[in-house]
């Protein structure tokens, strides 16, 4: 039985850890060849090794998605290593919360740069490559459907207290998705979005231990207030937060041939939660 993504080339940002890693492993398990990205070399290489150990193909493209040269390097890695580009998943992200009166310009721009500007740059860099591939395929009488999956959040759909920067960025990615679905349809590209609710990763664990993550040289507090975390889980109709693997499955739905006529859509992956 053939795998659904056999031979496809997939780029996944932030795929050294958490949801991104689960997405990379899922796509690879269905035959995709992966360009894995993370801020740090160690987790990126661990994901690459996990894919190779399972019999797949993967290479790492290490670095911050916010770097001005990253998009071209990321797309270029796919072309130089695998001679193709079929799936782009804009997943990399983090939160840096505060109420608006206490939020600094640095907090505002850091989140917008990561969640909105970086996907814009990656997709801008990918467009000439996809256009050339699509044109060549058309001249050869072939029709190849490519996939873009952007990652949003329920915060981008409904807002969330203390997350003006994150909510704005995640709302923006929905607008970008809908716009590119209109622009890129002629190249046989579907562009969709997955909006997550509570997914259990290191960024959404209990903040009781005061954990931080170093992101672009900043030590940023991660985690959720334990009381709030418990309350959030009670609000979810399925009664729990999702796993990274369940989050990856939602992205996978937009990558397989069965969704070739679905574009410009935002799928909520929330365990039934319809607002926050």
Has 196 been annotated as catalytic?
A: no
Burial of 219 (0-12, 13-18, 19+ CB in 10 A): exposed
Query: What tokens appear for 191 in the block?
Result: 């562009």
Question: CB 72: neighbour CB atoms within 10 A?
Answer: 14
Write down the catalytic residue from 109, 166, 196, 261.
Answer: 166
Q: Which residues, 6 or more positions from 265, have their beta carbon under 8 angstroms from its beta carbon? A: 192, 193
Cα–Cα distance for residue pair 15/189, rounded to 1 Å: 22
Give the bridge partners for 98, in sequence order.
Answer: 163
Q: Which residues, 6 or more positions from 26, have their beta carbon under 8 angstroms from its beta carbon? A: 245, 248, 249, 251, 252
Give the bridge partners for 163, in sequence order.
Answer: 98
Strand 212-215 relative to strand 218-221, pairing: antiparallel
Listed as own residue / partner, the contacts of 154-157 with beta carbons closer than 8 Å and 24 or more positions apart are 154/195, 154/196, 154/197, 154/268, 154/270, 154/273, 154/275, 154/276, 155/276, 156/195, 157/195, 157/266, 157/268
Residue 268 backbone dihedrals phi, psi, to 5 degrees: -85, 125
State whether residue 128 is helix, strand or coil. Answer: helix
Question: Which residues belong to the active site?
Answer: 166
């Amino acid at each position: 039985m053939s795998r659904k993504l056999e031979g496809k080339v997939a780029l996944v940002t932030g795929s050294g850890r958490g949801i991104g890693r689960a997405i990379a492993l899922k796509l690879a398990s269905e035959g995709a060849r992966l360009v894995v990205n993370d801020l740090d070399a160690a987790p990126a290489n661990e994901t690459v090794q996990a894919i190779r150990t399972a019999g797949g193909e993967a290479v790492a493209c290490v670095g911050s998605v916010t770097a001005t040269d990253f998009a071209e390097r990321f797309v270029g890695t796919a072309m130089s290593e695998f001679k193709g580009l079929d799936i782009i998943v804009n997943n990399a992200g983090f939160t840096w919360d505060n109420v608006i009166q206490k939020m600094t310009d640095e907090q505002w721009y850091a989140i917008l740069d990561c969640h909105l500007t970086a996907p814009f740059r990656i997709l801008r860099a990918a467009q000439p490559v996809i256009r050339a591939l699509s044109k060549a395929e058309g001249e050869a009488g072939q029709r190849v459907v490519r996939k873009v999956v952007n990652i949003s959040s329920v915060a981008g759909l409904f807002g969330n207290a203390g997350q003006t920067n994150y909510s704005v960025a995640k709302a923006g990615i929905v607008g970008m998705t809908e716009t590119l679905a209109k622009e890129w349809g002629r190249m046989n590209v579907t562009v969709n979005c997955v909006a997550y609710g509570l997914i259990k990763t290191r960024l959404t664990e209990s903040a009781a231990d005061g954990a931080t993550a170093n992101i672009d040289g900043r030590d940023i507090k991660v985690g959720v207030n334990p009381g709030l975390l418990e309350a959030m889980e009670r609000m979810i109709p399925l009664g729990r937060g999702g796993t990274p693997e369940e989050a990856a499955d939602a992205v996978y739905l937009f990558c397989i041939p069965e969704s070739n006529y679905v574009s410009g859509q935002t799928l909520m992956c929330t365990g039934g939660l319809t607002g926050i």
